[in-house]
Amino acid sequence: MTALTVDGVGVTLLQRRVVDDVSLTVPAGTWLTLVGPNGAGKSTLLRAVSGAVEHVGTITFDGVEVARLRSRERARQVAVVPQDPARPDGMTVLDYVLLGRTPYVPYLGTESAEDLAVAGELLDTLELRSLSERMVTALSGGEFQRAVLARALAQQAPVLLLDEPTSSLDLGHAQQVLELVDELRASRGLTVVSALHDLTTAGQFADHLVLLVDGRMVAQGSAQEVLTEELIREHYGARVRVVTDPYGGVVVVPLRSRPARGQEGVA
């Protein structure tokens, strides 16, 4: 169980402050989701948390500054599903998932039976077993996205960062992947920080939502507090209706500004 704190964090890219003075606390075993329009800084903030981009301010895992961790230690603490991961040439799905075990393989050693068991179990869970010998360059977008998640979960790190992890998945696989992450959060106390562009999904899976706009936090709280018609109109320029489903979840429904086709003249 690892808590994450972000305190006064800023990131400057090409002389532009794209993440500005963000402070968050993510208690161990909870799920925080970043929402916000394109270019808001969600990916950049996640990259700062994983140590992939320089930042000002302080980011800690259980009180230890990320910037002080060496890469192997950091890989045992935090696993990442990036928004646009590269597909290595000439690598099978199994070998790609095994990359997640690198922080546990001794220098100059090979993977152990346990490493293979962890990878094999994830191939089954994510329905990749029949593709395990396929090259990652020969997968569909959705199959590769599941392989990327399998690689991240193979790392067995207590903190999991997910940047649009379901952007290429159909509805069924998206639900399956997010439920799997939520089960691991509950059973192993994983601390999850994600960026999700689907607002309804964001509300369904997060304990806490943060709305980022132009690198700054403009709202945070429960789905009811953050996913409001007013905030979405103001910051996304979108017309939506927010309704509550029978289980108390928040559903964000996009509206057209004129009648749908075939409904012209219907009051």
Ligand X SMILES: Nc1ncnc2c1ncn2[C@@H]1O[C@H](COP(=O)(O)OP(=O)(O)O)[C@@H](O)[C@H]1O
Largest CA distance in the chain: 72
**Minimum distance from CB of 16 to ligand X (Å)?**
7
Identified binder of ligand X from the candidate list 4, 18, 48, 190, rule CB under 6 A: 18
Q: Which stretch binds ligand X (CB under 6 A): 37-45, 94-102, 112-120, 152-160?
A: 37-45
Please write down the long-range contacts of 118-124, taking CB distance under 8 Å and 24 or more positions apart: 118/154, 118/156, 119/94, 119/150, 119/154, 122/97, 122/150, 122/153, 122/154, 123/93, 123/94, 123/97, 123/150
Told to check if 43 binds Mg ion by CB under 5 A, we report: yes
Of residues 15 and 257, the one with the C-beta less far from ligand X: 15
Of residues 43 and 145, the one with the C-beta less far from Mg ion: 43
Told to check if 161 binds ligand X by CB under 6 A, we report: no
Q: How far apart are CA 185 and CA 162, in angstroms?
A: 13
Cross-strand bridge partners of residue 219: 211
Identified binder of ligand X from the candidate list 10, 29, 36, 82, rule CB under 6 A: 36
Q: How far apart are CA 173 and CA 155, in angstroms?
A: 21
**Minimum distance from CB of 127 to ligand X (Å)?**
28
Interface with ligand X (CB under 6 A), residue total 11
**Nearest alpha-carbon partner for 31 in 211, 242, 222:** 222
Told to check if 194 binds Mg ion by CB under 5 A, we report: no
Identified binder of ligand X from the candidate list 1, 8, 13, 137, rule CB under 6 A: 13
Of residues 40 and 159, the one with the C-beta less far from Mg ion: 40
CB 184 within 8 A of CB 153: yes
**Minimum distance from CB of 252 to Mg ion (Å)?**
19
Identified binder of ligand X from the candidate list 2, 20, 30, 42, rule CB under 6 A: 42
Told to check if 39 binds ligand X by CB under 6 A, we report: yes
Q: Where are the alpha helices (DSSP H) in the chain?
A: 42-49, 71-77, 93-98, 113-125, 141-154, 171-188, 199-205, 223-226, 229-236
Q: Which residue has the tokens 């059973």?
A: 187
Which residues make up the interface to ligand X (CB under 6 A)? Answer: 13-14, 18, 36, 38-44
Which residues make up the interface to Mg ion (CB under 5 A)? Answer: 42-43, 83
